[in-house]
Amino acid sequence: MKLNRFGRLQRLLLLAGASLIALVALGYHPTPVKAQDSQINQTATGSWLAASFPVENFQEYSSPYGPRGEGEFHYGLDIAAPQGSYIRNWWAGEVVEVIDDDRCGTGLVIASGKWEHVYCHMEGQVGQANGRNYLIDREGGIIIWQNEQLSAGVRIGRVGMSGRTSGPHLHWGLRYAENWIDPGTVLRAMYGEQTAALSRRLDGQ
């Protein structure tokens, strides 16, 4: 584990940097929900340090979680990034579903304990072999199998335009114990902890 010390600090710096840019933008769509905050505090056991921001080359939050008018509800956060930007696994877990439908397009559902994270509008196609679905994005050098175990922060695909979307973005959904959660709340919690941990490290070294 000695070997990891510098790597972890570097990773933390990277995460904090990415989150900082992302969180500044998040300030434009404040949608805190009390019930969700307490749920998150109970479940995360106070540590978001291992979590990864889900997109490289963050541009903006193009649509927040919440009501969209005409009785529609947006069960996720839209994160815009240039087409082809890599998507990273938010939290270590298992691929429980490889999605291929008209709305989500090419997508993944990854389960981490009681959490499920949903990724939509990705590049690539869905195939099947030996009774298992897989997502393949040849240009991005990505193949992800149903039931595969993934670490936090690994590249799991790229931002695309599949499904119902007017521009390249990641639709990122989060469920806890089958209840939808505002991903913005989780990103704020992650950012708070990662920033605090970073300043502790910089002070102590």
Q: Note whether 121 and 78 are within 8 A (CB).
A: no
Return the range that interacts with Zn ion (CB under 5 A); candidates 39-47, 49-57, 77-85, 176-184.
Answer: 77-85
From residue 78 to residue 97, the character string flagging contacts with Zn ion as x (rule: CB under 5 A) and all else as - is x-------------------
Q: Is 159 helix (H, G, I), strand (E, B) or coil?
A: strand
Tell me which amino acid residue 131 is.
G
Residue count, binding to Zn ion (CB under 5 A):
3
Return the range that interacts with Zn ion (CB under 5 A); candidates 40-48, 92-100, 108-116, 167-175.
Answer: 167-175
Return the range that interacts with Zn ion (CB under 5 A); candidates 47-55, 107-115, 135-143, 170-178.
Answer: 170-178
Q: Note whether 180 and 62 are within 8 A (CB).
A: no
140 or 163: whose CB is closer to Zn ion?
Answer: 163
SS3 for 141-157 is: CEEEECCCEECCCCEEE
171 part of the interface to Zn ion, by CB under 5 A? yes
What residues from 96 to 115 belong to the interface with Zn ion (CB under 5 A)? Answer: none
Distances (CA, A) of 43 to 13, 46, 141: 25, 8, 34
88 or 193: whose CB is closer to Zn ion?
Answer: 88
64 or 153: whose CB is closer to Zn ion?
Answer: 64
Q: Which residue is nearest to Zn ion, using beta carbons?
A: 171
From residue 36 to residue 75, the character string flagging contacts with Zn ion as x (rule: CB under 5 A) and all else as - is ----------------------------------------
Residues 118 and 172: their CA atoms lie apart, in Å, by 6
Half-sphere exposure of 16 (CA within 13 A, CB side): 17
**What is the separation of C-alpha 115 from the centre of its chain, rounded to a whole number of angstroms?**
12
Binding residues for Zn ion, rule: CB under 5 A, are 76, 78, 171
